[in-house]
Amino acid sequence: MGLFDQKKVLVNDIIDAALGRNACDLVLQNARVVNVFSSEIFETDVAVLGDTIVGLGPGYVGKDKIDLKGLYLAPGFIDGHVHIESSMVEVPQFARAVVPLGTTSVVADPHEIANVLGYEGIRYMMDSSKYNPLNVFFMMSSCVPSSPLETAGSELRAFDIFPFLREKWVLGLGEMMNYPGVLNNDKDVLDKLKISGEKRVDGHAPGLSGNDLNAYIAAGVESDHECTTVEEAREKLRLGMFIMIREGSGTKNLVDLLPLVNKNNERRCFFCTDDRHPNDILEEGHINYIIKTAIKHGLDPVTAIRMGTINTAEYFGLRKLGAIAPGRTADMVVFDSFNKFNIKQVYKSGVLVAENGKAVYEPPVRPEFPVRSSVNIKWLEGDEFTIPANGERCRVIGILPRQITTEYLELDCKQENGKIVSDTKRDILRLFVIERHRASGKIGKGLIKGFGLKSGAIASSIGHDSHNIIVAGVEDSDIFKAVTTVNKMGGGIAVVNDGKVIDSLQLPIAGLMSNKPLEEISLKTKSLIKSTRQLGVKLEDPLMTLSFMALPVIPKLKLTDQGLVDVERFKHVELFV
């Protein structure tokens, strides 16, 4: 939602301006236009009236004329699938970070906040998306909760999401994670597919293959962003799926999947970020980073631009976006070269909104959209974080660096006084997930290998997808302290050592987001990561890694508030073998 508040123009005025009868509002002269239709780059002028491009060519008269002196001009970039909540900031702050990087449109799935606050959370995201120089389109969250193997803060049935699907800014049904539900003819799942009508249905099916994949696609699912290998992506592409190539923070698939793309299939592929943390947005970039990296690894530059613009627009039916051509919305990005790819200017609906990496528009004046408190845990006595030893061999979650998939390990575990304890020498920690929506007292107990913590504990209210409190730690007292700190903050992240909180970040909006600027949140997450380094953690992004250890729809072994989950069998399993 939220086309930038630029004046609309009548068709007859567009025609008159295109014919040169009347002056345009803006003419960008001597631009090297990246033409996503013809795969050409040619120097020309681009004329704009109001929010619409009216013509390409010489001779246009404009109230404002800007000589680009041979700089490149591309359509505004589009993120095909993103959870804005993963940036840890509200939509207006997210916009101020990504618009200067050339992103003028995103297709957001409010799945994270929907799992916490349901209808209220979705409406909050839609309301806060208004009046920003960023188009925020929505795909309605299809899996709230993502599975019956966890406790979410809400449950959205087909009946609940149907009204949203009638809204202009809603493009379809978000990632259908519950592929077992599809394959087993779950009534509510099939109802959600049915009510989507002619709108798009996004998929989420890591590793799905063969007849299972056939059935999933035949049910109406049209895309996938979970491919990690060329072989997996090629099978899905052959069966008619569109492939979203993802480069997020927790999962980076771009380089691995680029060999899939060729001149014959590239129109079926486009870019997305999915989950991208504030540090990566500020230090690397957004869709601009993906385009630049793809070019660096040998992808044709115009193809890379196309995969970040028109391909995404055409998949979602956004007919006015994705190209620089007459009749298209004047969302445009000025950059210096395909090698450096420095974003010089960004125009949203014909208005200059960013220059040299900085937003130059005034933040929108909007009413506050308060949301209720979302962290409600049962009173803790302090003895909840013990694991009685009911055997010697345990199922252990094995971390895979730079991935959100995990290994399924079976290991002998360290015991003391009849209890399972963390084994820092072998890098095996205790892991807990505490239900935080209904104060039910449910606590899932497990073990994790590869996190690196030598002492202390880390707790977070970001625990995909139901966002219960997840904590990894060594000593009971530090685990207890970390969890209670998150609870007192009303959501956030806490790092504890020797009974003291050494660093924390408050996330009062659904336990997921802050109303502070993204730059401030980035500095704080860097500080948190630095604090974990002092405790022995070497993972690139331990905060993101920890948050995905509770996601029971990504293989192979995960932990929810209801216990360990064998994702491939889609069922709970005991901790002890």
pLDDT digits (tens, 9 = 90+) for 482-510: 999 999 999 999 999 999 999 999 999 99
Q: Which residue bears the tokens 């009173």?
A: 379
Task: For 43, list phi and psi in degrees, rounded to 5.
Answer: -90, 130
Rounded to an integer, the average pLDDT of 431-436 is 98
Least confident span in 209-218, 368-377, 456-465: 368-377
> Which pLDDT band, with edges at 50, 70 and 90, does 7 fall under?
low
Same domain assignment for residues 311 and 207: yes
Same domain assignment for residues 170 and 284: yes
- In which domain, by residue range, is 475 found? 387-572
> Which pLDDT band, with edges at 50, 70 and 90, does 6 fall under?
low
pLDDT greater than 60 at residue 392: yes
Same domain assignment for residues 164 and 257: yes
Let me know if residue 11 belongs to a domain: no
pLDDT 10s digits, 23-74: 999 999 999 999 999 999 999 999 999 999 999 999 999 999 999 999 999 9
pLDDT 10s digits, 296-313: 999 999 999 999 999 999
Q: SS3 letters for 140-198? A: ECCCCCCCCCCCCCCCCCHHHHHHHHCCCCEEEEEEECCHHHHHCCCHHHHHHHHHCCC
Q: Which of 290, 302, 292 is nearest to 266 (CA)?
A: 302
Same domain assignment for residues 271 and 418: no
Query: Which pLDDT belongs to residue 372?
Result: 86
Strands 24-35, 40-49: pairing kind: antiparallel
Query: What three-state secondary structure class fits 481?
Result: helix
Let me know if residue 204 belongs to a domain: yes
pLDDT greater than 90 at residue 146: no
Same domain assignment for residues 414 and 514: yes
Percent of the chain with pLDDT over 70: 98
Single-letter amino acid code for the residue at 535: L
Task: For 338, list phi and psi in degrees, rounded to 5.
Answer: -75, -20
Q: Which of 263, 276, 277, 330 is nearest to 80 (CA)?
A: 276
As a whole number of angstroms, the distance between CA 452 and CA 463 comes to: 19
Q: Which residue bears the tokens 């009510």?
A: 195
Let me know if residue 18 belongs to a domain: no
Rounded to an integer, the average pLDDT of 110-121 is 96
Q: Which of 35, 44, 50 is nearest to 67 (CA)?
A: 44
Percent composition of the chain: helix, strand, coil (DSSP 3-state, to 5): 30, 30, 45
As a whole number of angstroms, the distance between CA 494 and CA 316 comes to: 39
Rounded to an integer, the average pLDDT of 156-160 is 95
Let me know if residue 391 belongs to a domain: yes
Q: Which of 38, 37, 46, 88 is nearest to 67 (CA)?
A: 46
pLDDT 10s digits, 337-371: 999 999 999 999 999 999 999 999 988 776 666 78
Query: Which pLDDT belongs to residue 300?
Result: 98
Same domain assignment for residues 298 and 167: yes
> Which pLDDT band, with edges at 50, 70 and 90, does 2 fall under?
very low
Query: Which pLDDT belongs to residue 367?
Result: 64
Q: Which of 49, 102, 141 is nearest to 288 (CA)?
A: 102
pLDDT 10s digits, 233-251: 999 999 999 999 999 987 8
196: left (phi over 0), alpha (psi -120 to 50) or beta: alpha
pLDDT greater than 50 at residue 540: yes
- Average pLDDT value over all residues in the chain: 95
Let me know if residue 155 belongs to a domain: yes
Rounded to an integer, the average pLDDT of 217-245 is 97
As a whole number of angstroms, the distance between CA 385 and CA 477 comes to: 9
Let me know if residue 441 belongs to a domain: yes
Q: b or e along 457-481 (b: 16 or more beta carbons within 10 Å of the residue's beta carbon)?
A: bbbbbbbbbbbbbbbbbbbbebbbb
Let me know if residue 159 belongs to a domain: yes
Let me know if residue 469 belongs to a domain: yes
Do the Cβ atoms of 105 and 137 come closer than 8 Å? yes
Query: Which pLDDT belongs to residue 3?
Result: 46
Query: Which pLDDT belongs to residue 545?
Result: 92
First-to-last alpha carbon distance for the chain, in angstroms, is 50
Query: What three-state secondary structure class fits 243?
Result: strand
Strands 170-176, 135-140: pairing kind: parallel
H/E stretch holding 113: helix 111-117
Percent of the chain with pLDDT over 90: 90
Q: Count structural domains, the chain.
A: 2
> Which pLDDT band, with edges at 50, 70 and 90, does 378 fall under?
very high
